[in-house]
Amino acid sequence: MTLVLQGISRDFGPVRALDDVSLAIGPGECRALYGGNGSGKSTMAKIASGILSAGAGRVLVDDRPLARTSPAEARALGVGITFQELSLIGELTTGENLVLADVPRRFGFLLDRRGADAAAHAALKRVGLAGLRGRRVELLQTGEKYLVELAKALQSHPRYLIIDELTSAMHASEVEIFAGLLAEHLAAGGGALFVSHRLPELRRFCNTISVLRNGKLVFEGALADVADDDLVKWAGGGHRDEMPASRAPLAGEIRVQATGLRPLPGARPINLAFRSGEITGIGGLPDQGQKHIQRLLAGLQPAVAGERVTLSGAALALGDSAAIAAQGISFVSGDRDEMVFARRTIRENMQAPFVAMKGRPMPDDAAILAALDRLNTRHAGIDRPIGGLSGGNQQKILVARCLLLNPQVIVAEDCTKGIDVASRNDVHHLLRELAHVQGAAVIVTSSDDQELAGLCDRVLVLDGGQVIAELSKVEQTLDAQAIVSAYMKQERAA
C-alpha cells in the first residue's frame, strides 16, 4: 500500500516547475517535502491530488493509476489535500463549506441533507471548531481557517493526506490539534506528505524527507540521517562562485522613505528606504508582510496607525491609489484579472491611469506605439481589445504603461508569473532600464527566488514583518542560495 509519484515533470510556460521527480509514501509514513520558494512543492502536491496534470510521469494510489486530472477521482482513490492558498468559500459558513465539499449528490442535489449536516458537524468537532459551525469563513482567524481546511480534507477519510503549508499560519495550540489528528491518521495506517519550511516541525512530524531545488529532487532519505545545515544548503542550491558579476551602478538618493511600517498585524514597526536607480526585491517565505508594503506604497491598502511614507521628501497620500499614481508611483501586479480591462482596447488600457490624473495629458497613439515597441509587444493594432492577446503580451502592455507615466517609483508584484521566457526577459530588461538609466526606484516581489536574485540589485528578506537579511549584488552577497538560507535559517532558529 503506497502512494507513488513517478517521474513527474511539469512546465508553466517557460518555467520547469518539476523535472523528473519521484517519491513514495507508505502506511504510517509522514514524508516531508522541503525546498525554497518556487522549488515546486505546491505543484507536486496538486499533481498528487488530481488538481494539476503532470506533463510527464504518473500517480499511483495503492497500485491504481490516477487516470484523469480530477480531484474527485483522487479523493475516490484515497488522496486528500489541504491547500496552501485555502479552498474555502468566504461567504459560506464553516458548516456549509464542509457540506459542499464532499457529500453524495445526484443531478446537483444533495441526497442526504441531514446526514451531510451531521458529517460536517463531526468533521468540525474533530478540529475543535464545532462551535463555529454557523460562522462565515471570512470572519475566522487565519489559523482557524486552516483548521477548517484540514477538516475538509479529512472528511473523505483519505488514506493519504497531502498537507501544504498548513501550520505556517497557525498558533501553537492549533498546531497541537493538527498534531493529534496527524498521529491518529498515521497510527491507523495512513500516509502523509507534509510541506513546510519549519525544520522543527518537520523533525517532529516526519520520518522521511524529499528536498526539491529548482524543480529537481536533490535529496531523498530518512530525516534522522541528515543535519539541518545540510537541508538548508541543499534547498538553497548553487555555490558562492556562481554569483553573477555586478554591473549595477551605485544607487542614487533616497526616493521613498517609509517609517513606522507594520507589514504584519502586531509586528514591531520598521523603517525602509528605497533609492533611485536601484531594483530592490522584497523576499522571504510567503505572507511575511511583502504584500502590505507593496500595496501600501501603491495606495491599494489603507495605512495602519503610525505608518508614514514620503516620496522625494513629500508626504504620500496613503490609501488613495489615484493620488499616489499622480504623485509618481506606478503599480504593476501579476494578477492580470485585477489590472486589465479585457474588453477594452489596448489604447484604453494604456490611457486608463491618466483619466484620474488631472493636469497630465493623455498619451497619444504615437507615444503608445513607441512604448509598446520598446517592449517588443506583439499586437494587431491598438484598437483591438487587450483580452485577445497572450498573457505575456498583456503583461508587457501593463509594464509599457509605466513608460508613459514616467514614474519615480515602480512597484511590481510578482509581475512575470506564468509568462513566456521571451516576455519575461523583455520585462526584466525594461525594469532594469527604468531603474539604471531613468533612475526610477523599482520595488519587486516574486514567487521565485531565482528570479529575485537575478533581477534585483538588493533583496530585503522578511520574516514575521521584520527585515532579517539585506543582500546586495554590489557587495556580492546576493544569490538565490543566500535568500533561501536567510529565511530557512530563521525558521530553524524559531
Ligand X SMILES: Nc1ncnc2c1ncn2[C@@H]1O[C@H](COP(=O)(O)OP(=O)(O)O)[C@@H](O)[C@H]1O
336 makes contact with ligand X (CB under 6 A): no
- Tell me: does residue 15 bind ligand X (CB under 6 A): yes
Q: Does 42 bind Mg ion (CB under 5 A)?
A: yes
Distance in Å, CB of 162 to Mg ion, minimum: 12
Closest by alpha carbon to 88, among 99, 72, 76, 78? 99
CA proximity to 396, closest of 411, 413, 375, 380: 375
Site string for ligand X, 361-400 (x = CB under 6 A): ----------------------------------------
Nearest approach, Cβ of residue 210 and Mg ion (Å) = 14
Q: Which one of ligand X, Mg ion, none interacts with residue 472, CB within 5 to 8 A by kind?
A: none
The phi, psi pair for 271, rounded to 5°, reads: -115, 140
Question: Which one among 5, 8, 17, 402 touches ligand X, defined by CB under 6 A?
Answer: 17
**C-alpha cell, 187:** 497510527
Please say which residue, 351 or 445, places its beta carbon nearer to ligand X.
Answer: 445
User: Nearer Cβ to ligand X, position 217 or 346?
Assistant: 217
Q: What are phi and psi of 66, to 5 degrees?
A: -80, 100
- Choose, by CB under 6 A, the member of 5, 34, 38, 309 that binds ligand X: 38
Q: Which is nearer to ligand X, 275 or 417 (CB)?
A: 417
**Residue nearest ligand X, CB atom distance:** 418
Q: H helices within 207-306, ranges in order?
A: 228-236, 290-297
3-state SS track over 307-324 = CEEEECCEECCCCCHHHH
Closer to Mg ion by Cβ: residue 84 or 450: 84
Comparison of 351 and 416: residue with beta carbon closer to Mg ion? 416
Q: Is 353 in the site for ligand X (CB under 6 A)?
A: no
In angstroms and rounded to an integer, the radius of gyration of the C-alpha atoms of the chain is 24
* 322 to 332, 339, 395: CA distances (angstroms): 14, 14, 20
CA within 13 Å, CB half, 150: 29
CA distances from 34 to 23, 176, 492 (A): 13, 21, 13
Decide: is 12 part of the binding site for ligand X (CB under 6 A).
yes
Q: In whole angstroms, how close is the CB of 46 to Mg ion at the nearest point? A: 9
Shortest Å distance, C-beta 231 to Mg ion: 17
What pairing do the DSSP bridges indicate for beta strands 160-164 and 191-195? Answer: parallel
Residue from the set 8, 39, 292, 435 that interacts with ligand X by CB under 6 A: 39
Helix H segments across 237-364?
Answer: 290-297, 321-327, 336-339, 346-355
Task: Using CB under 5 A, count the residues that bind Mg ion.
Answer: 3
Site for ligand X in 411-440 (CB under 6 A): 417-418
Work out what residue 219 binds among Mg ion, ligand X, none; the CB cut-off runs from 5 to 8 Å by kind.
Answer: none
Residue 387 CB-half CA count within 13 A: 7
Question: What DSSP designation does 423 have?
Answer: H
Q: Applying CB under 5 A, does 168 fall inside the site for Mg ion?
A: no
Residue among 283, 293, 339, 333 at smallest CA distance from 316: 293
Map the footprint of Mg ion across residues 381-440, applying CB under 5 A. Answer: none
**Secondary structure of residue 125 in the 3-state scheme:** helix
Nearest of 424, 442, 480, 308 to residue 15 by alpha carbon: 424
When asked if residue 191 is in the footprint of ligand X (CB under 6 A), the reply is: no
Q: Which residues contact 361 (CB under 8 A, 6 or more apart)?
A: 354
Cross-strand pairs, 461: 283, 469
CB within 8 Å of 113: residues ≥ 6 apart: 99
C-beta of 11: minimal distance to ligand X in Å?
A: 9
Applying CB under 6 A, among 25, 30, 32, 41 the residue interacting with ligand X is 41
Stretch that binds Mg ion, among 77-85, 142-150, 274-282, 314-322 (CB under 5 A): 77-85
Q: Closest approach of Cβ 152 to Mg ion, in Å?
A: 18
Stretch that binds ligand X, among 31-39, 111-119, 259-267, 458-466 (CB under 6 A): 31-39
Binding range to ligand X, per CB under 6 A, among 11-19, 319-327, 425-433, 475-483: 11-19
Report, in Å, the least distance between residue 175 CB and Mg ion: 19
For residue 271, the Cα-to-chain-centroid distance in whole angstroms is 24
| DSSP H helical ranges for 162-227 | 172-187, 199-205
Interacting positions 77-136 with ligand X (CB under 6 A): none
User: What is the smallest separation between the CB atom of 73 and Mg ion, expressed in angstroms?
Assistant: 23
Q: Are the CB atoms for 31 and 209 separated by under 8 Å?
A: yes
Give min distance, CB of 81 to Mg ion, in A.
12
Give the nearer residue to ligand X in terms of CB position, either 43 or 481: 43
Q: What share of the chain is helix, strand, coil (3-state, %, to 5)?
A: 40, 25, 35
- Residue whose CB is less far from ligand X, 6 or 447: 447
Q: Which residues bind ligand X (CB under 6 A)?
A: 12, 15, 17, 35, 37-43, 417-418, 447-448
Q: Which residues bind Mg ion (CB under 5 A)?
A: 41-42, 84
